[in-house]
Structure formats: C-alpha cells, structure tokens
Chain A
Amino acid sequence: DGGITQSPKYLFRKEGQNVTLSCEQNLNHDAMYWYRQDPGQGLRLIYYSQIVNDFQKGDIAEGYSVSREKKESFPLTVTSAQKNPTAFYLCASSFTPTGSNQPQHFGDGTRLSIL
C-alpha cells in the first residue's frame, strides 16, 4: 500500500530536549511538507521541500529544523528553542510542488506534548 507514514503517533518532550518526528512516503512524490495544527485551528506550514537536498522555511519555522537527504524521508526536529511545541504535527507530500494542480497526501500525524 502506498502512503505516508508518520511516527511515533504520540511523543513527549522534556524541557530542553530536542525531538525528531519521522515522515516516510513511498508514493515517489517530489515535494514534502510539515504542518503544525493547534486545537480548533487550521494548518500552518513549518517547512517544505520541493526536491531532495533542498527545503524552504514556511510561516512558522522558528524552533524547528528539517533535512531532506532522501526522496522518501523528511524528518522534522523540534528543538528546545521552540517554547510552545505542544501541537498535532502533520506531514504531507505531493507529486510535484503545488502549482501543477496536484493534491497533497497526508500522514496520520504525531501528537507532541510537553512533560
């Protein structure tokens, strides 16, 4: 089955700790995205990558970092600099960067909480 796998489903962070959220896709998509969703809110873009070894900041990149060393993988690190990390994190991918009229496909999210 093709799709996007996010892990873990639930994650707890201690003060001062960096944590990494995993996102893997086997859809052969070029573009990948990370979003943050707070309760009752829409999605806000953290980082996105249109091609391997390249990524751009989204609207709320501060306190987060990413890498795109493989086409299939786009891990997100929530650093200790992110003071309010409690949220639902969603990873998505699309066949080509949006603008070629392609939809985004989403994983089932990781819920991050502070201990």
Chain B
Amino acid sequence: SQQGEEDPQALSIQEGENATMNCSYKTSINNLQWYRQNSGRGLVHLILIRSNEREKHSGRLRVTLDTSKKSSSLLITASRAADTASYFCATDRMRDAGGTSYGKLTFGQGTILTVHP
C-alpha cells in the first residue's frame, strides 16, 4: 500500500501565486523527499528533509515536516508556468526503533500542478 497520500490531487493556479502541496504518511520515517516529474520524463529530486528537521528551503521551495502529525508540505512561491509538473513525496520508512531503513522509498500518488501564464 502507498505510504504517502498527497493533497490535493490537482492544483491549478495563476503565475505569480504560491502553490502548497501536502503529504501525509503512516509510519515512522528516516527522511521525506520531494520529487518533480514533467510529463513523460523521469523524476527529479527537489528536497530531502530528515526526521529531526522541521523546515528546509531551496530557492523558491520551502518544505516543512511535522513528525507528530506525520505530514509534510511543499510550498512553491511566486510560481511560474515552467513549474507545471507532477510533484511526489516519498518516504524512507524506519524498519525499527534503531532507525534502520528498509533501503527503499515509498512514493505517494502525486499532485498535478498547473500554472497558467
């Protein structure tokens, strides 16, 4: 079963607006990652946030992580038409209390973002 559930499934905004996507997960994690996928292409890594971090920034991207609520959000500020893509969260789940990883990522269903010029 999918670990990550993303919300909304689709988001349509105008250029210059901010876009916020949310991801919820079910089990303890080592880290959570956000990826972007343009139509018909592979995924591109955007940001990795570790379980002991609460917020990370990269350019116009801001990611937050709330481990008590098992949720994360990706904010894209001042969006551009070129930001149009699908965005996925992926979790590196913790196998045990010692933090051992399963050695694989579990992806959510994704949010389709459309930015209109």
Chain A residues engaging chain B, CB cutoff 8 angstroms: 4, 6, 31, 33, 35, 41-45, 48, 50, 56, 58, 88, 90, 92, 97-109, 111
| Interfacial chain B residues near A111, Cβ < 8 Å | 40
Q: When the two chains form the complex, which single residue of A50, A100, A108 contacts B42, counting CB atoms closer than 8 Å?
A: A108
| Interfacial chain B residues near A43, Cβ < 8 Å | 43, 88, 90, 107
B58 to chain A, nearest CB (A): 12
In the complex, whether B54 has a CB less than 8 A from a CB of chain A is no
Q: What 9 A-B pairs are tightest by C-beta distance, nearest first?
A: A99-B101, A106-B42, A103-B45, A97-B103, A43-B107, A42-B107, A42-B109, A106-B43, A108-B42
Interface of A is mostly: strand
| Interfacial chain B residues near A97, Cβ < 8 Å | 101, 103-104
Chain B residues engaging chain A, CB cutoff 8 angstroms: 2, 4, 30-31, 33, 35, 40-45, 48, 50, 88, 90, 92, 100-110
- A-B contacts besides A33-B104, A99-B101, 11 pairs, CB < 8 Å: A41-B109, A42-B107, A42-B110, A43-B43, A44-B107, A50-B103, A97-B104, A104-B43, A104-B45, A106-B35, A108-B42
Q: When the two chains form the complex, which single residue of B31, B41, B110 contacts A109, counting CB atoms closer than 8 Å?
A: B41
| Interfacial chain A residues near B33, Cβ < 8 Å | 103-104
| Interfacial chain A residues near B44, Cβ < 8 Å | 106
Given contacts A42-B110, A98-B103, contact A108 B45 (CB under 8 A): no
| Interfacial chain A residues near B107, Cβ < 8 Å | 35, 42-44
Judge whether B40 and A109 touch: CB under 8 Å. Answer: yes
| Interfacial chain B residues near A48, Cβ < 8 Å | 103-104
| Interfacial chain A residues near B42, Cβ < 8 Å | 4, 6, 90, 92, 106-109
A106 to B88, CA, bound (A): 13
Given contacts A45-B104, A99-B103, contact A90 B30 (CB under 8 A): no
A92 to B107, CA, bound (A): 13
A88 to B41, CA, bound (A): 10
Judge whether B41 and A98 touch: CB under 8 Å. Answer: no
| Interfacial chain A residues near B45, Cβ < 8 Å | 103-105
Closest residue on chain B to residue A102 by CB atoms: B48
